[in-house]
Structure 1
Amino acid sequence: MIDGIYILANDVVYDQLVALLNSIEANAGRKIPICILPYNQRLDKVKAEIASRDNISLFEDSDSIAYWDNFATQIWKNYPRAQKTWREWGFPELYELPMHRKFCAIDGPFDRFIYFDADTLLMGPVDYVYEKLDNYDWVVNDFQYKSDLKFIFDGSPEQMQQVFNSDDLQSKVFCAGWFATKKNIFSPAIRTDLIKNLTSGEADVMAFLAPDQSLFNYMVLRSGISYYNFAFHDYEQSTGNHWSSQFDVVDNILYDQGRRLTYLHYMSISSSKFTQLCGGEDVNIPYRDVFLHYRYLKSPEQRVKSFKRQSPLVRLQKTTTSFFNQKINNIKLNYRNFKDRITK
């Protein structure tokens, strides 16, 4: 049985990807093969990084990529309420479609795997996660269930009861930025049923601003596969993972009340901030020194020794030119309203 790790990435998140890869090498407890799922074709830096490491590969199954691109397109194009909302907000017709390529991991080479968004850092060993897959089909470790259910599902109570037949749906939702599961967990028969249900109106229960996350939650809960969340089922021993929490730092490892984190998630912080930081700009990022430690763990000579502050004029110009993107991020933040809600 082959255990592995998948990461969705491209050159835009290169600095974060390198930091994540180094944190996995330093903290996973053993050497684990890693496969990079291509967000798009902007992969020159990613391919060079893969070539420099002996345990990393690029996912190149074009049939799988095309399948899941089409799968997501069918669902969201048959969801008029989402299409209308995205148009009103000025979003693309198929908002964040490439994020659905993380589904390709189900078709990949690893029998058991953990998926990481590129904006994460691994803080500790993960064998306990793989072991939990001996008894469960889908494993997560986050406090998404403490936030508003509308961040995942946005249907009426009557719709959601009809679709999921659950009186405790709130406790079962999860963040799709970090999860563990098995190869082919959604069989062709399950996929066919899910597509039929979704394109027949059940898509109307899903939320809009993190479409891949809403779809993952729908597929896990609707298919009836077994599910385990460490942060819910083992609450007393679980740690936070969101950057907004207050953690202790010891030797570039984060601790929550004395317990070592499994991972840190920089959710909602723009990748451009990490690029600017690594380019020598004085950007304020939570646990900045920890991130820089892992980013330059294998190339300390390249780490910036001092940071420059931008002039007010340059800051104003950048603020103006990035207004639209910032507006989108603000909508996301207001809609999700994470902050302390997903921490204990």
Structure 2
Amino acid sequence: MKRGIYTLANDVVYDQLVALLNSIEQNSGHIPVCVIAYNDDIERVAAEVAGRDNVSLLNQPELFKFWEDFSLRVWQTHPTALKQWKDAGVKTQFYRVGENHRYVSFDPAAPFDEFIYLDADTLVLQPLDFMFERLSQADVVVYDFQFKDLSHIFNVHSDKLSTVFSEERLKRDIFCSGCYASKRGLFSNAELDHVVDTLGQGNAEVLYMGAPNQSLLNYMVQINNHSVHNVALEWRPEGKATGNAVSSKHFEEKDGLVYDHGKRLSYLHYIGLSSKLFRRLCGGENIDFPYRRTFLHYRYLHGAMPVFEGVPKAYNQPPSLQKRLLKKIGLA
């Protein structure tokens, strides 16, 4: 059985991709990694992949088209999504088309029998074998605390939500689409048709437009009754679970690793931080954000780090009075 890690990237997230690949190399052994092309903007990504052992690039438009067509069918069932995105200036068929390329990991033609998908804005801090091991117990294995916040998975204002899914599954089985383990061929064509059919029968309003890929993936899993195992729920009673989101303020950084009350994180997800921050930092701007030191450790594991001048400026620092005035009169 062939196992591997997928991520999704283009040149916009190049610096984050390099850090992720270096973290996997250092902390997760010689596991194959496949980078799925987000779009055609992959010149630097392709060069980076070509220079690495055990890392490949998946850029097959014919595979992408199948999943793009499926996603378009999905969002055509929604009463307002396509119009709202178009009115908001989205130029593609639907919002974040490239994010749907990650579904290729489920395709029968995909390279890995079992896989872990990780967003590019992630660092792996120890082997993730425990997720693969639990795929013998469930169709999808996750390790996060997304179950505490349903509002970023489904439309919690929809009266229909509680009739589509049980309260138990909504509390237990929802997950962040930035890290999950699963299997090639999980969704049959009949199951994909079932997704579209049920959405077209009125279920589409339960989808959350703010994170369309995450919402749809959770819907695909639940509507087809696939099982989900959350390691956080398994380990929490034993006190073994750790957080993984950069929004947690109490983690401790040490020697390229991060700890949650003395327990080493399995991965750190820089969720909610714009890719622009990482590009600015790697361009030499002395900008600060949570767990910056750990990111820099992996980004420049094999290269020279920029020389930063002055005092780091907080990434969320309010604009200066001068900038606010210039913006007010339309000059900034």
- AA at the equivalent of 2:8: L
Q: Choose the corresponding residue for 1:306, options 301, 308, 311.
A: 308
Could you tell me how far apart the structure 2 residues matched to 1:84 and 1:224 are? 31
1:248 aligned residue: 252
* Matched ranges for 1:154-173 at <5 A: 154=155, 158-173=159-174
1:82 aligned residue: 81
Q: Choose the corresponding residue for 1:113, options 112, 115, 119.
A: 115
1:128 aligned residue: 130
Could you tell me how far apart the structure 2 residues matched to 1:273 and 1:233 are? 35
Q: Does 2:312 align with 1:270?
A: no
2:300 aligned residue: 296
TM-score (norm 1): 0.85
Q: CA deviation at 1:273?
A: 0.7
Give the secondary-structure state (helix, strand or coil) at the position aligned to 1:215.
Answer: helix
Structure 2: any 5+ residue segments left out of the alignment? 314-318
Structure 1: any 5+ residue segments left out of the alignment? 324-344
Q: CA deviation at 1:244?
A: 1.6
- AA at the equivalent of 2:55: I
2:316 aligned residue: none
1:43 aligned residue: 42
* Matched ranges for 1:108-257 at <5 A: 108-147=110-149, 149-154=150-155, 158-235=159-236, 236-245=239-248, 246-257=250-261
Could you tell me how far apart the structure 1 residues matched to 2:311 and 2:157 are? 48
- AA at the equivalent of 1:27: N
Q: Say how many residue pairs are matched.
A: 315
Deviations 1:230-257 (A, max 9, x none): 1123223111011121211221100111
1:335 aligned residue: none
1:101 aligned residue: 101
* Percent identity for Structure 1 against Structure 2: 43
Give the secondary-structure state (helix, strand or coil) at the position aligned to 1:234.
Answer: helix
Q: Is the 8 A contact 2:49 2:57 kept in 1?
A: yes
Could you tell me how far apart the structure 2 residues matched to 1:97 and 1:27 are? 32
- AA at the equivalent of 1:178: C
Q: Choose the corresponding residue for 2:288, options 278, 284, 289.
A: 284
Q: Is the 8 A contact 1:240 1:256 kept in 2?
A: yes
* Matched ranges for 1:62-81 at <5 A: 62-81=61-80
2:18 aligned residue: 18
Runs of 4+ in structure 1 off by over 3 angstroms are: 83-93, 155-158, 165-168, 307-313
2:59 aligned residue: 60
Q: CA deviation at 1:38?
A: 0.7
2:263 aligned residue: 259
Could you tell me how far apart the structure 2 residues matched to 1:81 and 1:34 are? 37
Give the secondary-structure state (helix, strand or coil) at the position aligned to 1:237.
Answer: coil
Give the secondary-structure state (helix, strand or coil) at the position aligned to 1:228.
Answer: strand
Could you tell me how far apart the structure 2 residues matched to 1:86 and 1:170 are? 29
TM-score (norm 2): 0.88
Give the secondary-structure state (helix, strand or coil) at the position aligned to 2:288.
Answer: coil
Could you tell me how far apart the structure 1 residues matched to 2:87 and 2:20 are? 36
Q: Is the 8 A contact 1:138 1:226 kept in 2?
A: yes
Give the secondary-structure state (helix, strand or coil) at the position aligned to 2:198.
Answer: helix
Deviates more, 1:16-25 or 1:154-163: 154-163
Could you tell me how far apart the structure 2 residues matched to 1:297 and 1:234 are? 31
Q: Is the 8 A contact 1:281 1:309 kept in 2?
A: no
Give the secondary-structure state (helix, strand or coil) at the position aligned to 1:175.
Answer: coil
Give the secondary-structure state (helix, strand or coil) at the position aligned to 1:133.
Answer: helix
Q: Is the 8 A contact 2:46 2:57 kept in 1?
A: yes
Q: Is the 8 A contact 1:15 1:274 kept in 2?
A: yes
Say what the alpha-carbon RMSD is for the aligned residues: 2.4
Q: Is the 8 A contact 2:158 2:205 kept in 1?
A: no
Q: Is the 8 A contact 1:281 1:308 kept in 2?
A: no
Could you tell me how far apart the structure 1 residues matched to 2:312 and 2:297 are? 23
Q: CA deviation at 1:32?
A: 0.6
- AA at the equivalent of 1:131: E
Q: Is the 8 A contact 1:20 1:121 kept in 2?
A: yes
- AA at the equivalent of 1:11: D
- Looking at secondary structure, tell me which structure has more helix per residue: 1
Give the secondary-structure state (helix, strand or coil) at the position aligned to 1:5.
Answer: strand
Q: CA deviation at 1:95?
A: 1.4
Deviations 1:46-71 (A, max 9, x none): 01001101111111332220011111
